[in-house]
């Protein structure tokens, strides 16, 4: 049996290697129009910035090494130009010689990937404008940085690639600006979790132009839709990718409106004996089962394996993508999995949420830094829907635990029961993951009633409710929410008489822990109360990003 695979990298190379492991007698042909069949796509920005010093480190397998190890007929610089599903043939153009020929197949796997979107704005064809998707793209940017000596860079788009490039071009010595048409970077984050990211990047010298669009690119500047202009010796377009499905469409395979190839759970397309994997295919969201476009390396590898399994006679299905991802930004780590609030609302899910702020390891062991965790769950079932974490050390391992819990259908309260590794240099006896479960338990059983940063502006200031800040006097003096009175937590029991017994109390502290304690003290005294989720820390971060006018002490 003969299998042709069109496209290497994550999906295609994985499929070829898996198929060989399952069937030593199979004839396998891997066609790749580029020079490289397997390279570290996610490592490209770090070579530009110098963190990866050797270019060869980006090449995971050469055509020769892959062919030797897996006995695959590897043909790089060979472009598939047409597929005839009826005759089961692929037309191939040898880019070295210009010769075109046909190759027959029994099974065909498409792994064409995705291509960078080039927005329709004047100037994208100029010599100092780049996209980043392949090793040749990387070489061009690296060469330009080293030879043209640009001093300023503008990155159009604030997603994963754009943010990683911002860091790495900064390390390369450039002044970097990001232009993003949304109100926040990193689309899987909610705005409130992105606020800390924005402020941190600004401290590193990255200039952010949010809710802005580039209208034109000129020789040394870009023009913005607000009439402004930014210096730009180098421009990188990082506005997203589109599925490379032209070949599939020409062959009559079914695609969706975006152009993603439609496949079933076995990765089979609409044509017999043709499979498709990776960034070119439409996937299902694991949590909602709605169609999705989530171009990630991990899912592409899994899909390649599944296609090979099915060709080899092993029933195998892809269960969907939940969007687990992690991002390094200087010393900061940003991680997401599952649904954010926008996705949950779009899916019509009645959800609840909470915010926790926990140290990466035991507070008494040096070097611990806090991480901000946001978790969402379905109200009716307590099913864990998603999480976002922004912090420093230990973010990735906490998100991996939560992503695993989601994959196995955990309730958010199940996180409280997890027995996780603990030693002072690595964590706490009450791990940040456990803390999410504890808080959710309290919300579920009524021990904790929450209100949120977006509720604060609507709280009445007419005396009908009590607004209480339980931080210290020094913290209160350093900045507070208009209308809140200050009674430090440790004085609250002795000063309960100052609070009207017939009015509900909305209470906050720095991060939510002291206000929870205050909430329980107030409940014990018979007062109705609610605690601000995420506390002043989250509120101040979000309001700062909203550019709400304020004086040095009071946010209004």
Q: Which of 42, 421, 509, 553 is catalytic?
A: 42
Q: Is 433 helix (H, G, I), strand (E, B) or coil?
A: helix
pLDDT for the residue numbered 101: 97
Reported as a single tens digit per residue, the pLDDT across 226-237 is: 999 999 999 999
pLDDT for the residue numbered 209: 97
Cα distances from 517 to residues 34, 367, 400, 487, 501, in angstroms, run 61, 27, 30, 13, 18
Block means of pLDDT (10 residues each) for the chain, 556 residues, are: 92 95 96 85 87 84 88 95 98 97 98 95 97 92 96 97 96 97 97 97 97 96 96 96 96 97 98 97 96 92 97 96 96 98 97 96 92 98 98 97 98 98 94 97 96 96 96 97 97 97 96 96 96 97 69 26
H-run or E-run covering 554: strand 554-555
The two structure tokens encoding residue 260: 């993603």
Cα distances from 132 to residues 18, 116, 283, in angstroms, run 28, 7, 24
Let me know if 509 is a catalytic residue.
Answer: no
Reported as a single tens digit per residue, the pLDDT across 379-419 is: 999 999 999 999 999 999 999 999 999 999 999 999 999 99
Return the percent helix, strand and coil in the chain, to nearest 5.
Answer: 30, 30, 40
- pTM to 2 decimals? 0.93
Task: For 403-438, give one letter per residue: b (16+ CB within 10 A) or e.
Answer: bebbbeebbbbbbbebebeeeeebbbeebbbbbbbb
Is residue 312 within 8 A of residue 19, CB to CB? The reply is: yes
């Amino acid at each position: 049996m003969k299998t042709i695979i069109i496209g290497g990298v994550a999906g295609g190379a994985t499929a070829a290697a898996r198929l060989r492991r399952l069937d030593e007698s199979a004839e396998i042909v891997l066609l790749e129009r580029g020079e490289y069949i397997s390279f570290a796509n996610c490592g490209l920005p770090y070579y530009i910035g110098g963190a990866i010093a050797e270019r060869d480190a980006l090449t995971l397998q050469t055509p020769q090494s892959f062919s030797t190890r897996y006995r695959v007929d590897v043909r790089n610089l060979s472009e598939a130009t047409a597929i005839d599903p009826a005759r089961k043939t692929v037309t191939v153009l040898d880019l070295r010689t210009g010769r075109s020929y046909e190759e027959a197949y029994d099974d065909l796997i498409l792994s064409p990937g995705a291509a960078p979107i080039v927005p329709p704005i004047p100037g994208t064809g100029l010599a100092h404008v780049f996209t980043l998707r392949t090793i040749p793209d990387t070489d061009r940017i690296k060469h330009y940085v080293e030879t043209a000596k640009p001093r300023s860079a503008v990155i159009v788009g604030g997603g994963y690639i754009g943010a990683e490039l911002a860091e790495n071009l900064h390390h390369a010595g450039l002044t970097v600006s990001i232009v993003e048409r949304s109100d926040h970077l990193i689309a899987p984050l909610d705005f409130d979790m992105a606020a800390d990211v924005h402020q941190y990047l600004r401290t590193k010298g990255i200039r952010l132009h949010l809710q802005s669009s580039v209208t034109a690119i000129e020789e040394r500047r870009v023009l913005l839709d607000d009439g402004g202009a930014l210096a730009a010796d180098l421009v990188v377009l990082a506005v997203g990718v589109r599925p490379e499905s032209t070949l599939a469409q020409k062959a009559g395979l079914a695609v969706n409106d975006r152009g993603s190839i439609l496949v079933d759970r076995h990765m089979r397309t609409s044509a017999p004996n043709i499979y498709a994997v990776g960034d070119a295919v439409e996937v299902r969201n694991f949590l909602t089962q709605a169609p999705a476009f989530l171009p990630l390396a991990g899912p592409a590898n899994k899909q390649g394996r599944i296609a090979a399994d099915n060709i080899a006679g092993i029933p195998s299905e892809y269960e969907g993508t939940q969007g687990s991802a992690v991002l390094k930004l200087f010393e900061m780590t940003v991680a997401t999995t599952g649904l954010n609030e926008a996705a949950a609302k779009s899916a019509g899910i009645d959800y609840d949420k909470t915010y926790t702020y926990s140290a990466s390891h035991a507070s008494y062991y040096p070097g611990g830094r806090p991480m901000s965790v946001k978790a969402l769950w379905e109200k009716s079932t307590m099913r864990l829907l998603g999480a976002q974490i922004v912090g420093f050390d230990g973010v990735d391992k906490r998100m991996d635990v939560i992503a695993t819990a989601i994959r196995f259908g955990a309730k958010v309260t199940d996180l409280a029961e997890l027995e996780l590794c603990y030693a002072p240099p690595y964590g706490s006896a009450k791990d940040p993951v456990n803390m999410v479960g504890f808080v959710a338990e309290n919300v579920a059983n009524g021990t904790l009633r929450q209100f949120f940063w977006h509720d604060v502006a609507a709280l009445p200031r007419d005396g009908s409710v009590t607004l209480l800040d339980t931080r210290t006097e020094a913290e209160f003096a350093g900045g507070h929410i208009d209308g809140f009175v200050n009674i430090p937590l440790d004085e609250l029991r002795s000063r309960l008489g100052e609070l009207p017994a017939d009015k509900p109390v909305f209470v906050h502290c720095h991060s939510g822990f002291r206000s929870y304690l205050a909430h329980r003290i107030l409940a014990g005294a018979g007062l109705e109360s609610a605690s601000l989720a995420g506390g002043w820390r989250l509120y101040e971060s979000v309001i700062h990003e909203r550019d709400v006018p304020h004086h040095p002490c009071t946010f209004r």
